[in-house]
Amino acid sequence: MTSAQVALTLIFIVGVLMSVPYAVFASRHPRQEGEPLGSRRIALISLAFTGIMLDVGLSAAMFSMLRPGE
């Protein structure tokens, strides 16, 4: 692996970790039907979405860096 691939892998892990706070919050505070989302839940959803989009972009970048035959 090149240093660029190592850096992309580390950033990918950070992107995965960005979705953990929402998963923990959602499991501890389930949303009741009719209850508004609330600012904390919206912020955590935004953080998780950003992490997922970061991971999708980095996955594409990592696959584009592969040489033929790898």
Q: Structure pTM?
A: 0.71
What would the two tokens of residue 39 be?
A: 């600012």
Per-residue pLDDT reduced to its tens digit, 3-50: 777 888 888 888 888 888 888 888 888 888 888 888 888 898 898 899
Q: How far is CA 19 from CA 2, 4, 25, 61, 69, in A?
A: 27, 24, 10, 20, 33
Strand ranges, E, within 5-57? none
In sequence order, the 6+-apart residues with CB closer than 8 A to the CB of 61 are 8
Which of 46, 42, 50 shows the shortest CA–CA distance to 15? Answer: 50
